[in-house]
Amino acid sequence: MLIVKLLRWIFGYFDFEIKGRFPERFLNLAIRNGLNLWNMKGEKEELHATAKIADKNTAELFAHKTESELIIEKEHGLPHLCRVYKSRLGLLAGLIIGVALCCWLSGFIWNIEVNVPPELNEYEIRTRLRELGFYEGVRYDSDSIDNIKRKMKLSDERISWISINIFGTNAVVELSPKISADNDQNNDDKKVTVSNLKSTADGTITKINVHNGTAMVEIGDGVRKGQLLVSGIMEYNDGTNVMADSEGTVYAKTSRSVTLSVPKKYNQPIASDDYVYKREFSFFGISFPITLCGNPMGEYYKKEYRLKPTLFGNALPISITEEKWQGYDTEKLTLSTDEAKKLLNNRLKLYEMFMLYSDDRTIISKKTKFEEKDNMYYLTVGYEVEENICEKSYIQVKE
Mean pLDDT, 10 residues at a time, the chain of 399 residues: 80 88 82 86 81 89 86 87 72 77 75 81 84 81 80 81 82 77 46 82 93 90 93 77 86 92 87 86 80 81 82 75 87 89 92 74 91 92 92 73
Q: Are residues 14 and 59 in the same domain?
A: yes
Residues 73 and 113 in one domain: no
Same domain assignment for residues 289 and 324: yes
Cα four-point dihedral sign 313, 319, 323, 324: negative
pTM, two decimals, is 0.42
Question: Is residue 280 included in any domain, yes or no?
Answer: yes
Q: Residue 260 has what pLDDT?
A: 93
**Predicted local confidence at residue 249, as pLDDT:** 92
229: in domain: no
Give the pLDDT of residue 358: 63
Which CATH number goes with the domain that contains 32?
3.30.70.260
Q: How far apart are alpha carbons 317 and 138 in whole angstroms?
A: 11
Domain finish residue from 83, 118, 150? 83
77 and 121 together in one domain? no
In a shared domain, residues 14 and 72:
yes
pLDDT of residue 382: 93
The last residue of one of the domains, among 315, 334, 353, is 334
Residues 76, 15, single domain; the answer is yes
- Does residue 252 lie within any of the structural domains? no
Asked if the structure places residue 328 within a domain, the reply is yes
Give pLDDT, residue 45: 72
Residues 271 and 319 in one domain: yes
The pLDDT of residue 389: 92
Residue 156 lies in a domain: yes
Same domain, 6 and 78: yes
In a domain, 374, yes or no: no
Give the domain extent around 166: 108-177
Number of domains present in the structure of the chain? 3
pLDDT at 181: 45
Quick check: is 353 in a domain?
A: no
Does residue 92 fall inside a structural domain? no
Of 17, 48, 83, which residue is a domain's last?
Answer: 83
Domain match, 78 and 113 both = no
What would the 3-class secondary structure string for the chain be?
CHHHHHHHHHHCEEEEEEECCCHHHHHHHHHHCCCCCEEEEEECCEEEEEEEHHHHHHHHHHHHHCCCEEEEEEEECHHHHHHHCCCCHHHHHHHHHHHHHHHHHCCEECEEEEECCCCCCHHHHHHHHHHCCCCCCEECCHHHHHHHHHHHHHHCCCEEEEEEEEECCEEEEEEEECCCHHHCCCCCCCEEEEEEEEECCCEEEEEEEEEECEECCCCCCEECCCCEEEECEEECCCCCEEECECEEEEEEEEEEEEEEEEECEEEEEEEEEEEEEEEEEEECCEEEECCCCCCCCCCEEEEEEEECCEECCEECCEEEEEEEEEEEEEEEEECCHHHHHHHHHHHHHHHHHHHHCECCEEEEEEEEEEEEECCEEEEEEEEEEEEECEEEEEEEEEC
CATH code at position 130: 3.10.20.310
- The verdict on 112 and 79 lying in the same domain is no
Are residues 183 and 194 in contact, defined by beta-carbon separation less than 8 angstroms? no
Q: What is the pLDDT of residue 87?
A: 67
**pLDDT given at position 188:** 44
